[in-house]
Chains A and B, each alone.
Chain A
Amino acid sequence: GAVVSQHPSRVICKSGTSVKIECRSLDFQATTMFWYRQFPKQSLMLMATSNEGSKATYEQGVEKDKFLINHASLTLSTLTVTSAHPEDSSFYICSARSVDRGAQGGTYSPLHFGNGTRLTVT
């Protein structure tokens, strides 16, 4: 099945530094990738939609200058947490879908998720 690889799985950084998280679709092309954030014992909250070759679409309340998203190719999206602070510590998960043909005569592919990145800002 479709595989999404996310790297690194765990990162610890100092306050004020930037951290880049990579999300790769390994065996399919993903024109759209989604970045989620998960707080301890909570659900996943959509941060932004990453579109290949165009600007990302951010959810309300998510600072686009702080969470930089780049989707430069059909298999790679990156999330950069800039000037990280302890409150940015969280579990970040990316997801991707290969094809969405809609309901008529087609199929709706489920989202495939990376294994997540545990970010700890000290």
Chain B
Amino acid sequence: AQSVAQPEDQVNVAEGNPLTVKCTYSVSGNPYLFWYVQYPNRGLQFLLKYITGDNLVKGSYGFEAEFNKSQTSFHLKKPSALVSDSALYFCAVRDTGRRALTFGSGTRLQVQP
């Protein structure tokens, strides 16, 4: 079964500094990987996805993610964090059987001004 792991419950970063939110995956076959962001009491907003192609994927709001097959990782990155980036971030993998997404436990990003 597919799964993703987000090892950090919370990441703190100062505004203007680069940020990284970690994600590792376990799948059989080719991984379909996603990042979503959730603001309080809201649904999830799609940030980016990796299906195939370039290992560096660019997404919404200046976010990008790097697919690393050898390390089975798909870390989310942004060169310069904003206070408004503070939210809950979820890594997800497509479940090929059910076609739904399986989510990681989430990482809360806190950007300090």
* A binding-site residues for B, Cβ under 8 Å: 4, 6, 9, 32, 34, 42-44, 46, 49, 57, 91, 93, 95, 97, 100, 103, 107-108, 110-116, 118
Contacts and interface: CB of A to CB of B under 8 A. Distances in A.
B90 interface: yes
Interface residues of B, number: 24
B90 A34 contact: no
Contacts of A44: 44, 90, 103
A112 B46 contact: yes
Main SS of chain B's interface residues? loop
B41 A57 contact: no
B42 to A, nearest CB: 5
B34 interface: yes
B41 A43 contact: no
B99 A100 contact: yes
